[in-house]
Structure 1
Amino acid sequence: MDFKGILTCMCFLLGAVRGRKNVLFFAVDDLRPELTCYEGQDFPSQVHPPIHSPNIDKLAAKSLLLKRAYVQQAVCSPSRTSLLTGRRPDTTHIYDLVHYFRDLGGNFTTIPQYFKENGYISAGMGKIFHPGSASNHDDPISWSIPYYHATEYGWESKKKSWAAIPDDELKDKPLVDYQIAKQALKTLKMFAKGGPHEGTPFFIAVGFHRPHLPFVFPESFLQYYPKNSVKLPPNPYAPSQMPDVAWSSYGELRAYADQNRLNASGGINTTLPDTDILELRRAYYSALSWTDSLVGQVMEELKTYGFENDTIVSFWGDHGWQLGEHGEWCKHTNFELATHAPMMVHIPGMTDNGIVTEQLTEYVDLFPTLVEAAELEPMPLCPENSSEIELCREGTSLIPLIKNPKGLWKDAAFSQYPRTANRTKVMGYTMRTNRYRYTEWVKFSYAPKYKPDWDTVFGVELYDHGSDPEENRNVAYDSTYAALRIDLSVKLHAGWRAAIPPQNEQMKVL
């Protein structure tokens, strides 16, 4: 090819890049799907005040709203690593808040990295990867420009589990999430007319911390939740027949000084004082609404700069959260309240009128969805051992659900959580089907095998959501469920690959 031909080709490629849809990528920490747009059978709480989430609800109204999306492990780093690589914990080998997936799992391509490698400028701020050693300090290879973290002014401390800060006191020392939102606005401006990156497609990831502990927010947000509107959870005790290994003593909450003074053990069938529970629930809701307001600011700026009609917007919470149901707090379990989290995707021209699906979806599905929505080269399905393969997926693109929200789809979602029982390493594998949640806690071998021993069982759980949506009764040992338990066990052991229906290109493997 002569010089003129090369130049023509380069111009064509540059034009193709410039014509691509942008991506705005929201992440929110510890957000259960207690949003107004989730009202209905998939709402996590029967007892609640009206939830004030107008901005997220507005986004949901023009998105593919995934009513039943499940994380692959209900704790920050494993969940985020799984979503960002499109691979499950037993592939990433990340089960804690310390280790880095590139050291233990493989040199896997991440979502922002893939967009960066395809001509986008990727910019990150706040909490996207789990910070520190768990991501080698925000996985530098994923970003085109220096990563942004806000300045802490002492509002977020271990002294108090929640705090409503007078709004006036925040003018000179703003909360971290306010700073993150402002950084998002500055970053969008860089791609607007006259900005240094005008015309270049962007991948902007905005990670908000609240409603993660401590629940810190401007005092004015208490107005949405009058004290008399907040109620106690209806089920303050652990599920009947629950195996002890399923329980978490919520040390994350008890570590705060105000909670530590209560001398709560975190033990099974113990509860916090009613006044404390009500305060924590009210504070969580207020922090949620604070984050909602910041999402609204960023979305409004997206519109102001004229990006609204050519920007894919994804929104997700990194896992659910327990607010005193079962006497349980935080995440760190395999219960519905911990594994079920909000996720939605807006794709201009495809979801503008809003699409709601009740199909079972998983967080590993987001990576291939964004790739297909942006019309990039599709990702192949990972083989059984993908440690040496940089780019592949263990989820399924959600685009078919836009075309048919009730169409043929996977019939189970898989999550897991590690424990130690009787000095033995244990992994709790849980599976959500349309009606049931089935869990087996089994012996687990870490490096180099990373495999379960299905024959060494420390506990089994089966919850029938048809009659028990709050998971109050473990019926795994009920004789009337004996045949079903066998069937569900076989399905759990077969794993996620056996749950995906054949869908032409979806099933191509490297």
Structure 2
Amino acid sequence: MDITLLLLLFASCAAVYGKPNVLFFVSDDMRQQLGCYYGPDFPAPVHPKMHTPHLDELASKSLLLKKAYVQQSVCNPSRSSTLTSRRPDTTHVYSSEHYFRKVGGDFVTIPQFFKNNGYTSIGLGKIFHPGPVASGDDDPVSWSLPYYHAPNEQHWKNKKHGSWKAVSKKMREEKELPDIQIAQKAKSVLQQLTNASKPFFLAVGFHKPHLPFIFPEEFLDLYPAKEIRLPDNPYAPTEMPSIAWHRYDGIAAYPDMKGLNITGDINSTIPDFKTLELRRAYYSAISYTDYLIGYVVDELKRLGLDKNTIISFWGDHGWQLGEHGEWSKQTNFELATHAPMMVHIPGVTDKGIVTEHITEYVDLFPTLVEAAGFPSLPVCPRDSSNVTLCTEGESLMPLVLSNSSKDWKDVAFSQFPRSHQKIGSVMGYTMRTPSFRYTEWVKFSNEPKFEPDWNALHGVELYDHRTDPEENHSRAHDASYKSIREMLSRQLRAGWRGARGI
């Protein structure tokens, strides 16, 4: 299908239905542990069969991005970047303590764009990182109606429940799980919007599988304990610089982890019995989230809204479940930066399109804009602090077209900050190509410059995905990789603009 024909198709759909609605799903801490990712893009070589029928069905009717990479592997920076289509060095959001409108600029977000263009924009659950510090309490300017948080959210976030819990039906009757409340709210909102005169943008953010891994007990039955396996690489990569390591102290704070001698040090990890427990619980939490997405999509279909509703789904970053001995996210490894994303465009992707092209989360905003029939977003200038609407990504629409993907980019850029007692602020810039992951840890100047000092290098990593897809051996100091390292270093330092020739 060529671009002219596609645009004609969009125009004809708009003439029949009007502007398409958008159903915008987000999941927290979900790596690509879905059935539709089985194969080389699945996050681990040892696993039980995953039970994710609803997301697998959605993927079969979507542009499924097998190699989508976040711009920073932790909640607030990743969401701020994705929702504004700007990278962390533009949003200046590197932690949960910064709100992009205060430190980066007054940038238009995805829901705000649709609101500004005649849509009713509604937010439920976790879309922006919540709270007054991270998002001004869910970025009010992005929404047409008051924001919705589940009433029971704080109860089930309490660490007293432990790192995971399979919740009985009786306990749920006393205090329902918040993600179920969010799904039920989404269902009622869809019913109210059925005959609305304006198109809608409905954002539904589920908290799971974020810690603590809490889910209805029946989902545990999908993963018999005897089928769960330990990761095959519970050790740090050889030749890994210490600055690359994340000391996983967050998971150690749960009461059921006490007494397990969890230090978070390099080449330490959680005891085997607890690792198996946590992996089983994480899989169960993913299947629980899958069920909730199916619950909402089924209501969309029942109401007859599916024929004119774009559906996107993404997890805000990956997660490490004991691989490399690591837990949580907060690294530049493949498992932390690689996450699931798919976009369903009715009448266009119905037969399913699977791409192995490398894509980035900053690509989602311009994609939804074009899929909804709006003009393309302009590329951001080098200093876009005073530019309200632009993109540092690329629309994924060429990947929908069979004859337009040959010129697609072949590199994704991510980053993660570290604070070193002696060095000060360090930024790990990482780049994923089809064959390699290359990372440089450099001195970083925070406010007001927000820029790296490439001459102050504090660690280098080079992983060859052709022979080492689990990133177990850094080749940065291997003499046989000298020319490859030099080439990748030049490319990394040129950044995304250099990769696009702009």
TM over 0.5: yes
Question: What is the Cα deviation at residue 440 of structure 1?
Answer: 0.1
Residue 11 of structure 2 corresponds to: none
Kept in 1: contact 2:25–2:313 (CA 8 A): yes
Secondary structure of 2:340 counterpart? strand
Q: Deviations over 1:277-320 (max 9, x none)?
A: 00000000000000100000000000011111100000000000
Q: Which amino acid aligns with 1:216?
A: I
| Contact 1:167 1:220 (8 Å CA) reproduced | no
Q: Please give the residue correspondences for 1:108-507 in structure 2 after superposition, counting only pairs within 5 Å.
A: 108-132=107-131, 133-152=133-152, 154-159=155-160, 160-193=162-195, 198-404=196-402, 406-421=405-420, 422-500=422-500
2:158 is matched by which residue type in structure 1? S
Residues 263-288 of structure 1, C-alpha deviations (whole Å, 9 max, x = no match)? 31000001211000000000000000
Quote the Cα distance in structure 1 between the aligned partners of 2:17 and 2:345: 17
CA distance in structure 2 between the aligned counterparts of 1:406 and 1:55, rounded to whole angstroms? 28
Seen in structure 2, the aligned counterparts of structure 1 residues 164 and 22 have a Cα distance that, compared at 3 Å, is same
Over the aligned positions, Cα root-mean-square deviation in angstroms equals 1.3
| Kept after mapping to 2: 8 A contact 1:177/1:210 | yes
In structure 1, how many angstroms separate the alpha carbons of the residues matched to 2:452 and 2:15? 46
What amino acid is the match of 1:192?
Answer: T
Number of aligned residues:
484
Could you say what secondary structure the match of 1:131 adopts?
coil
Distance in 1 (CA, whole Å) between partners of 2:16 and 2:378 is 22
How big is each residue's C-alpha offset from its partner over 1:6-65, in whole Å with a ceiling of 9 and x where there is no partner? xxxxxxxxx989710000000000000010000011111101010000000000000000
User: 2:70 is matched with which residue?
Assistant: 71
Residue 256 of structure 1 and its aligned partner are, at CA, apart by: 1.3
In 1, Cα distance between equivalents of 2:53 and 2:435 = 30
Contact kept in structure 2, 1:86 and 1:395, CA below 8 Å = yes
1:135 Cα deviation after fit: 0.3
Structure 1: distance between partners of 2:379 and 2:257: 46
Q: C-alpha displacement at 1:349, in angstroms?
A: 1.1
Q: Is the 8 A contact 1:29 1:318 kept in 2?
A: yes
Q: CA deviation at 1:377?
A: 2.8
Q: Deviations over 1:318-363 (max 9, x none)?
A: 0000000010000000000000000000001110000000000000
Taking the aligned partners of 1:87 and 1:260, their CA distance within structure 2 comes to: 40
SS in 2 for 1:495: helix
What CA distance in whole angstroms lies between the structure 2 residues aligned with 1:17 and 1:481? 57
Q: Could you tell me which amino acid in structure 1 is paired with residue 500 of structure 2?
A: I
Structure 1: distance between partners of 2:369 and 2:216? 37
Offset at 1:107?
Answer: 0.2
* Shift, 1:365, TM fit: 0.1
2-structure distance, mates of 1:377, 1:183 = 32
Does the 8 Å CA contact 2:437/2:463 hold for their aligned counterparts?
yes
SS in 2 for 1:30: coil
Aligned partner letter, 2:382: E
Contact 1:17 1:200 in 2 (8 A): no
CA distance in 2 between partners of 1:318 and 1:65 (Å): 16
Deviation of 1:261 (Å): 2.9
Tell me the CA shift for residue 499 of structure 1: 1.7
User: Structure 2 unaligned runs (5+)?
Assistant: 1-13
2:189 partner letter? T
Contact 1:17 1:201 in 2 (8 A): no
Partner SS for 1:188: helix
1:4 aligned residue: none
Structure 2 distance, partners of 1:114, 1:257, is 43
* Number of the residue aligned with 2:45: 46
Q: Following the alignment from structure 1 to structure 2, what is the Cα–Cα distance between the partners of residues 40 and 474?
A: 23
The residue number in structure 2 matching 1:29 is 28
Is the contact between residue 409 and residue 500 of structure 1 (CA under 8 Å) also seen in structure 2?
A: no
Residue identity (%): 61
Contact 1:156 1:216 in 2 (8 A): no
Q: Is the 8 A contact 2:17 2:308 kept in 1?
A: no
Q: What is the letter of the counterpart of residue 85 of structure 1?
A: T
Task: Please tell me whether the aligned partners of residues 254 and 264 of structure 1 are also in contact (alpha carbons under 8 angstroms).
Answer: yes
Distance 1:351 1:18 in 2: 17
Q: Deviations over 1:143-197 (max 9, x none)?
A: 000000001273332131000011232124210100000010011111113xxxx
One-letter amino acid of the counterpart of residue 491, structure 2: K
How far, CA to CA, are the matches of 1:305 and 1:498 in structure 2?
47
2:3 corresponds to which residue?
none
Secondary structure in structure 1 of the residue aligned to 2:491: helix
Offset of residue 378 of structure 1: 1.9
1:457 counterpart letter in structure 2: L
Q: For the residues of structure 2 that align with 1:139 and 1:423, how far apart are their CA atoms?
A: 35
